[in-house]
C-alpha cells in the first residue's frame, strides 16, 4: 500500500476511534474525505492558475466542504 494512503488510513482510524458506536461508518467516511482532500491538494499544486476552479468542483462532486 502507498505510504501516503497508509497515513490517511491511520488518521481515519484515529478519528473513528472517537465514534465507537459507528466506528466503521465513521472510518469509511473519514478515509474517503481524506483521499478526496489529498486529490484536491494534488490538483491545486499541479496548476496554481486553476486552484480556485478544479478543487471546489472535486469537493462539491463528493459533498465535502
User: What average pLDDT does this structure show over 47-54?
Assistant: 72
Q: Inform me whether the pLDDT recorded for 47 exceeds 90.
A: no
| 48 neighbors 36 (Cβ within 8 angstroms) | no
Q: What is the pTM of this model?
A: 0.82
The whole-chain average pLDDT of the chain stands at 90
DSSP the chain: --HHHHHHHHHHHHHHTT-GGGHHHHHHHHHHHHHHHHHHHHHHHH-GGGHHHHHHHHHHHHT--
Q: What is the pLDDT of residue 26?
A: 97
Amino acid at each position: 500500500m502507498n505510504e501516503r494512503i497508509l497515513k490517511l488510513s491511520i488518521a481515519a482510524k484515529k478519528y473513528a476511534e472517537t465514534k465507537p458506536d459507528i466506528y466503521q461508518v465513521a472510518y469509511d467516511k473519514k478515509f474517503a474525505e481524506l483521499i478526496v482532500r489529498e486529490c484536491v491538494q494534488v490538483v491545486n499544486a499541479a496548476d496554481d492558475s486553476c486552484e480556485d476552479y478544479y478543487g471546489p468542483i472535486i469537493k462539491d462532486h463528493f459533498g465535502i466542504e
